[in-house]
A and B are shown apart, each in its own frame.
Chain A
Amino acid sequence: MADAPAKTARAEWGTRFGFLMAMIGAMVGAGNIWRFPYVMGDNGGGAFVLAFLVLLFLLAVPGLMAEVALGRYTNKGVIGAFRDVLGPGGMVGLGVIVLLVNIALMSYYSPLIGWTLYYAVHSLLFTFTASGFEAGAFMDTFFANSALMIGLHTIVMGSIAAILILGIRRGVERLVVYAVPALVIALIVMTVRGLTLPGASEGITFMFSVDWGALAASETWIAALGQALFSTGLGWGIALTVGSYLREYDDVPLGGGVFTALGESSIGILAALAIFPIVFAVGVEPDAGAGLAFVSLVQVFPEIPLGGLVAILFFVGFFLATFTSGLLITEVSVTTISEETRLDRTQTVLGVCGGIWLLGIPSAYSADILDFLDFVFGNWGLPLATLAIIGVIGWVLGPKRLRMLAVNRNAGIYVGKWWDPVIKYVIPAVMLFIMGYFAWENFREPEMIAGMLVIVLFPIIGYAIMSVVEGRGGKPGTTEVTGGDD
């Protein structure tokens, strides 16, 4: 089915591979590349891997199954899906929370994509291997140039708009089916290069040596929990939106759950294997975040044979990882606003991307603002969105109903009753714990106060907006599902 302009015709993924790559493209982002390797090595190596794996299967896999299934069951974006479950009214505002969090997330993620674009372009110009190049000074100059940052943010949002206007199949799918495999190939080539360098084994030892004592440390489990939840994008509305474009006979749990959670984590493992052997072979201190990608690694490239080419592989791959995530994060708002208003897809894309561009200017202007927003939304905004989605599934629609009607329908694997309590109790409890833990850790800090404002204000704003909108007549033909099922 083509992406027809008529609102009655809903787009679908053209192929199963397209859906799977969209899920992976959405979930693999900066965190997999510049956070996962260091967090892994710094939290007990192999012990962290075990803790991470347990939490992936316990939380991320079932949670993603639920979110994709809700999208597939309702065939609607976030707000429409919430209305189908909750019935018309102010409570549909829970969907607005998810929307607001996505818009906020994208407002500071777009400038970050701009950073990766800038470094990708410079890798193609072989800047990093030129004589006299200084990584630290290069990054400082770049970060101090606000006009350039805003320009890059503009290019990123413009490119995302151009692709999203083309639609799900001709825009998003056509890009992700090439971008995700290209990222994997780039990391594999980089891994081979890194592992053949003298001294690479120290990097492997840093990541995969097993400190069994770390399994008894709460820090290991908190780090693994953060990685399992934030890296997989559980409950951000992305999986729901991507799932809403599934075709009639498509499976949910195998592709949307198991493959997505394990696949995106596998790219984190691959990034670790690609980056740390090189970093250790050259004797640079391992790091995380911008320091790893834009200083440590950049220092490494001139020191290794074919370093210029490895830099291209890394930064182009890094850009693809962040760009595809940005594309799908923006699609969450585009899908739901397009459904909820009289705007056509093109108008919606321009409106959403324009709004995000405007909101993203402060983060593009100052990396400190970006860091602040990242901390606030990472620790409280995103868990709030997850709580809204999983809470509605667990406590209103009911996990058993969803399992019967959507998860096990056309499924590639059978999902048993163990799944129900995980969705109803475990994931919501974990999200509440995370929000409480970070509030306690940052008690009275400005970030914590801002996070509490998000937790209080976003639901109020959502409720108020939907009370007004639904009060005007709302959307006809929706059915309220009362009570959980167990």
Chain B
Amino acid sequence: MPLPAEVLGMLAFTLLAFWGISLWALTRTLRQESRKVEILKHQDRMDTYSPRALADLREWVETNPNDPLADRAREQYNECVDVLTQTDRHFYDWSDTEIEQLERL
């Protein structure tokens, strides 16, 4: 019995949505892992936040200075800034201009 087009379409969509996304995520995360290993062979520390995530973190610390976790957040922010300014290889897409504008908290 030949399969109706609707069934074939749904089969293709399902495979793409589940296996497609899973394999994309697997490949991406394993490639990122290889890149991290490569960076850590070259230097002992690595940037921990993307530009967007670091901006979020800074904004949160500035708006919640008395939060019980503010010190930890500040420490993580400063650690990332230090690494970005002291190392030449970065995991996330940081431009030189963005790094120059960073300030410790």
Q: Which residues of A contact B (CB under 8 A)?
A: 15-17, 20, 45-46, 49, 53, 199, 201-202, 204-205, 208-210, 249, 251, 254-255, 258-259, 262-263, 265-266, 269-270, 400-401, 403-405, 408-412, 414, 479-482, 485
In the assembled complex, the Cα of A53 lies from the Cα of B33 at a distance in Å of: 27
Q: List chain A residues, Cβ under 8 A from B33.
A: 15-16
Contact A205 B7 (CB under 8 A): yes
Question: Are A262 and B18 within 8 A (Cβ)?
Answer: yes
* A408 adjacent to B25 (CB under 8 Å): no
The answer to whether A251 touches B29 (Cβ under 8 A) is: yes
Given the interface pairs A45-B10, A251-B32, the reply to whether A205 lies near B25 with Cβ below 8 Å is no
* Contact (Cβ within 8 A) A409 B76: yes
Can you name the residue of chain B whose Cβ is closest to the Cβ of A397?
B69
Find chain A residues with CB under 8 A from B64 CB. Answer: 485
Cβ of B10 and Cβ of A46 under 8 Å apart?
yes
B49 engages A409 (CB within 8 Å)? yes
Q: Is the CB of B60 within 8 A of A404?
A: yes
**In angstroms, how far is the closest chain B Cβ from the Cβ of A261?**
9
B19 in complex: contacting residue of A199, A255, A269, CB < 8 Å:
A269
For B47, give the chain A residue with the smallest CB separation: A410
Tell me how far the C-beta of B99 lies from the nearest C-beta in chain A, rounded to whole angstroms. Answer: 18
B49/A201 in contact, CB under 8 A: no
In whole angstroms, what is the CA distance A51 to B50 when docked? Answer: 33
Q: Given A20-B29, A401-B67, are A410 and B14 also a contact pair (CB < 8 Å)?
A: no
Once bound together, how far apart are the Cα atoms of A367 and B11, in whole Å?
A: 36
Q: How many residues of B contact A (CB 8 A)?
A: 42
Please name 14 further chain A to chain B contacts, defined as beta carbons within 8 Å, in addition to the given A205-B3, A262-B18, sorted by A numbering.
A46-B7, A199-B1, A201-B1, A209-B6, A210-B7, A249-B36, A251-B29, A254-B29, A263-B25, A269-B14, A404-B73, A405-B72, A409-B49, A414-B50
* In contact, A249 and B40 (Cβ under 8 angstroms): yes
Q: Of all chain A residues, which has the CB nearest B19?
A: A266
Describe B's contact surface by its main secondary structure.
Answer: helix
Interface contact B48-A254, CB-CB below 8 Å:
no
Tell whether, in the assembled complex, residue B25 and residue A404 are in contact, meaning their CB atoms are under 8 Å apart.
no
Q: Cβ of B57 < 8 Å from any Cβ of A?
A: yes
Our pick among A17, A20, A269, A400 for the contact of B15 (Cβ within 8 Å) is: A269
Interface set, chain B 44-78, CB cutoff 8 A to A: 46, 48-50, 52-53, 56-57, 60, 64, 67-69, 72-73, 76
Residues of A within 8 A of B40 (CB): 249
State how many angstroms separate the Cβ of A87 from the closest Cβ of chain B. Answer: 10
Residue pair A262, B25 in contact (C-beta under 8 Å) = yes
On B, residues with C-beta under 8 Å from A are 1-4, 6-8, 10-11, 13-15, 17-19, 21-22, 25-26, 28-30, 32-33, 36, 40, 46, 48-50, 52-53, 56-57, 60, 64, 67-69, 72-73, 76
The residues of B that contact A251 with a CB separation of less than 8 Å are: 29, 32
Quote the shortest CB–CB distance from B90 to chain A (angstroms): 13
Q: Lowest 9 CB-CB distances: which A-B pairs, in order?
A: A46-B10, A408-B53, A259-B25, A16-B33, A266-B18, A263-B22, A262-B22, A208-B10, A266-B22
Query: Which A residues are CB-close (under 8 A) to B15?
Result: 269
Interface centre among B7, B29, B60, B76 (most CB of A within 10 A): B29
- Taking CB atoms, residues of chain A closer than 8 Å to B76 are 405, 409
Q: Can you spell out 19 A-B residue pairs with CB atoms less than 8 angstroms apart? A: A15-B33, A17-B30, A46-B13, A202-B1, A204-B7, A205-B7, A209-B4, A249-B40, A251-B29, A259-B26, A262-B21, A263-B25, A263-B26, A269-B15, A401-B60, A403-B56, A404-B73, A405-B69, A480-B68
Rounded to whole angstroms, the CA-CA distance of A283 and B99 in the bound complex is 66
Nearest to B3 among chain A residues (CB) is: A201
Q: A412-B28, A481-B68 are in contact. Are A405 and B53 (CB under 8 A)?
A: no
Asked if B21 contacts A258 (CB within 8 A), the reply is yes
- Interface pair B25/A255, CB less than 8 Å apart: yes
Cβ contacts under 8 Å, A53 to chain B = 17-18
* Complexed CA–CA distance, A254 and B40 (Å): 20
Contacts of A201 in B (CB 8 A): 1-3
In the bound assembly, the distance between CA atoms of A408 and B51 in angstroms comes to 11
Indicate if the CB atoms of A412 and B29 lie closer than 8 Å: yes
Q: Are A249 and B48 in contact (CB under 8 A)?
A: yes
Docked complex Cα distance between A254 and B50 (Å): 14
Q: In whole Å, how far is B68's beta carbon from the nearest beta carbon of chain A? A: 5
Q: A254-B28, A269-B18, A485-B64 are in contact. Are A410 and B48 (CB under 8 A)?
A: yes
Given that A201-B3, A249-B48, A269-B14 are contacting pairs, would A404 and B26 also be in contact in the complex, using a CB cutoff of 8 Å?
no
Cβ–Cβ < 8 Å partners of B13 in chain A? 46, 49
Shortest Cβ distance from residue A57 to the other chain B in the assembled complex, whole angstroms: 10
CA distance A17 to B31 in the complex (A): 11
Contact (Cβ within 8 A) B52 A209: no
Residues of chain A contacted by B2 (CB below 8 angstroms): 201
Contacts of A45 in B (CB 8 A): 10
Contact residues in A for B6 (Cβ distance below 8 Å): 46, 209-210
Min distance, Cβ B58 to any Cβ of chain A, angstroms: 10
Closest CB in chain A relative to B23 CB, distance in Å: 8
Residues of B within 8 A of A263 (CB): 22, 25-26
> Do B3 and A204 touch (CB < 8 A)?
yes
Cβ–Cβ < 8 Å partners of A208 in chain B: 7-8, 10-11, 14
Cβ–Cβ contact A49 & B22, under 8 A? no
